[in-house]
Amino acid sequence: RVLRPGGRLLLCSLARHEHKAAVEAYGHVNLGFSDKELRRFVDKAGLQVSSLETVTREKRPPHFEVISLIANKP
């Protein structure tokens, strides 16, 4: 059990991107996640999404975006 009933999960991730060369040096095993993928993970875990948004975007290339998701356990 990760969360008790009524508990909340905060998840932050890079948004899906195609800049493999920019992240290879950091050992990333994926190229971020789409909103749809994150929702699917949370739904599969039995949680309910209460917030999902892009919270920031880099001003310089490659313009990575960060997604924030908040989910609740019923």
Identify whether the C-beta of residue 12 lies closer than 8 Å to the C-beta of residue 65. no
pLDDT at 22: 84
Identify whether the C-beta of residue 47 lies closer than 8 Å to the C-beta of residue 41. no
Domain boundaries, the chain: 8-72
pLDDT at 36: 97
Claim: this prediction has a pTM higher than 0.75: yes
Identify whether the C-beta of residue 50 lies closer than 8 Å to the C-beta of residue 72. yes
Q: What is the mean pLDDT of each run of 10 residues along the chain (74 residues)?
A: 91 94 86 96 96 97 96 97
Q: What would the two tokens of residue 12 be?
A: 């932050």
At a CB cut-off of 8 Å and minimum separation 6, what does 21 contact?
A: none
Phi, psi values for residue 30, rounded to 5°: -145, 175
pLDDT at 28: 84
pLDDT at 57: 97
